[in-house]
Amino acid sequence: MKDPYFDTERCIERLYGWWKQHKNLVVAFDYDDTLYDFHKKGYKYPAMIKLLRECSRIGFTMILFSSQSTQEEFEIIKKNLLEYDIKVDYINESPVDKKSIKPYFNILLDDKCGLGQAYNILNQTLNRIKNH
């Protein structure tokens, strides 16, 4: 039997179904090399910024997962995200079950883990939600 979670359409349907049931999605995202050119290669991220801005405007729960470690670094990131009009509800923490070591989210956007596919899944889900 084929692994059902390799099917992009099934992933979109599952995410959309979660939204229909809860009227919210938990979107986790990285900052460095996902929204910000950490390695100074001249990259821009307008599509990702636009998508996360829209998720933020709709009221999704937004979690910043970052390997930055100081409060000063987080303040700089939060300031940049405000300029992008992207809210941050949590930083490096799960919005549910604080005792669990597994972070909770419905989708993760990170340059190190299938960012293109995750972007497409969330973008297509967001289009369905807007046309709901």
Q: Is 27's pLDDT higher than 90? A: yes
- What are the residue boundaries of the structural domains of the chain, listed by start? 25-113
Confidence tier at 68 by pLDDT (50, 70, 90): confident
Predicted local confidence at residue 92, as pLDDT: 85
CATH annotation of 25-113? 3.40.50.1000
Query: Which comes out higher in pLDDT, residue 108 or 74?
Result: 108
Prediction pTM value:
0.91
SS3 content of the chain, % helix, strand, coil (to 5): 45, 10, 45
Question: In sequence order, what are the residues at sequence separation of 6 or more whose Cβ sits closer than 8 angstroms to the Cβ of residue 72?
Answer: none
